[in-house]
Amino acid sequence: MKSTFKAALAGLVTSTAMLSAAYAEDIKVGMLLPYSGVYAALGQDIDDAFALGLETYGADSGVTFEIVREDDEVKPPVGLAKTKKLILQDEVDVMVGVVSSGVLGAIRDTVDGAGVPLIVANAGNDEATGEQCSPFITRVSFSNSQVNRPMGKWMVDQGVKKVFTIAPDYAAGRQMIDAFTTAFTAAGGEVVGQEWPAFQKTQDFGPYLANAKASGADAVYVFFAGGEAISFVKQYDSFGLQAEMPLYGSGFLTSALYVEAEGPAAEGVITALHYVPTLDNPENAAFVEAFKAKTGRIPSEYAVQGYDSARALVEAVKAGATDRETLAAALPKVAFTGPRGELRIDPATNNIVQPIHVYETVAGPEGLTQKVLATLPAEADPANGCEMPVATN
């Protein structure tokens, strides 16, 4: 009964559309982001930049985008419930978002089973585009391995032979560091020691820093994010270690989002990331200016992920996609040059392929800024056990 009614309605809509050729198509977007909880600031950056991306690229697509926002509270069960609501009740055409890898893991099967395309705008766990890959999940942000792997060879090339690594003891910390150490040792470097402080339970890194100091390493390579990154960078500097053992790491350590809170302690720290706001290209200049005008903030890597999620969606629509099925097919085929440089999606895993930028945090006229030292060429992640099935709705 309901379906006949729908079919009738669809028929009516089609005939109306045929009558007026300019009739706008509607794409319903379900945004699943943490609007509260520890990652709320990240969610806000993604949301603001996504809206900006739709304004910038979507205006001439002939389609109106309707956004339904849901707060996953960084809790996997909440994320799952909100995903079901978006899919079943709101009947969205496409989902965008997911900051936490835990939430992504929880909603993966539901999204995959329902055949709803999901544009991952942050969550970087390797499995999502590895053994857990899905034809419906396209990641435009990064993978944990991707941002750390290129640093292995680059640091050896810079003459760093012995490193000590420190990262929080959880899946992302392990993936980030393991990707780095694998590449580092393959290039001829030596890992002289490793520490894995308990995740979100460690506020004082003093004991680990003393171990690093005693290890005789040339440098220390770390991954920390958020509050832990601030504590770590400040404590590293307070022990006066930066002079004898320079600090390197995954670029989240000195993210533009909170580098100001780290203050002068962050000066001279060298890290690698897929985006920094000081990248010198016309797309980025336009993006930074527009984002600043809209929000008053400097865009972070999270913001660019939101912006590019919108761009990817618009490109898919421009390629003719109109519903869940066609969007899922079109999203992995998008490729464009954005603020981060040349981007494409790897069809083998549906993960983004992008250049990685090595940058040093330096003092500028308006506070701390990022000086790009090198841009390492884009490299697709290994399939990691991903056997991409054919999309079936």
Partner 1 sequence: MTTDLGFWVLQTLNALQLSMLLFLLSVGLTVIFGLMHFVNLAHGSLYAFGAYVAATLAETLGYWGGFVLAPLAVAALGAVLYFTLIRSQRRAGPMAQVLVTFGLIFVAVDATRLIWGDLPIGIAVPALLDGQIALLGVEYPVYRLFIIALGLAVLAVLTLILTRTQIGAMIRAGVDNDQMAACLGINVERMFFLVFVVGCALAGLAGAVAAPVLSVTPDMGLQILIPTLIVIVIGGLGSLKGAVAGALIFGFVQTFGAVLLPTLSSVLIYALLAAVLVTRPEGLLPAKG
Residues that bind partner 1 (CB under 8 A): 36, 38-41, 44, 195-198, 200-204, 206-208, 210-211, 213-215, 226-231, 234-235, 238-240, 257-258, 260-264
For residues 140 and 209, which CB has a smaller minimum distance to partner 1 in the complex?
A: 209
Output the six-digit token pair for 137: 């999940």
Helix (H) or strand (E) holding 7: helix 2-19
| Strand pairing report for 219-222 and 341-346 | unpaired
Q: How many CB atoms lie within 10 A of CB 151?
A: 28
Which pairing describes strands 25-33 and 94-97: parallel, antiparallel, or unpaired? parallel
CB of 37 to partner 1, least distance (A): 8
CB nearer to partner 1: pick between 202 and 350: 202
Q: Which two tokens stand for residue 31?
A: 């945004």
Residue type, 164: F
Instruction: Indicate the residue among 229 and 321 with the shorter CB distance to partner 1.
Output: 229
Q: Of the candidates 311, 385, 373, 355, which has an alpha carbon nearest to the alpha carbon of residue 146?
A: 355
CB of 265 to partner 1, least distance (A): 8
User: Which residue lies nearer to partner 1 by CB, 6 or 292?
Assistant: 292
Kind and range of the H or E run holding 372: strand 367-376
* Minimum distance from residue 221 beta carbon to partner 1 (Å): 18
Residue 294: CB minimum distance to partner 1, A: 18
- Whose CA is closest to 156, among 179, 188, 178? 188
Please identify, using beta-carbon distances, which residue of 297 and 344 lies nearer to partner 1. Answer: 297
Identity of the residue, 226 or 268, whose beta carbon is nearer to partner 1 in the bound complex: 226
CB of 169 to partner 1, least distance (A): 9
The runs of H, that is alpha helices, within the chain are 2-19, 40-58, 76-84, 101-114, 144-157, 171-186, 206-214, 226-238, 241-244, 259-262, 282-295, 301-318, 324-330
Please report how close the Cβ of residue 237 comes to partner 1 at its closest, in angstroms.
9
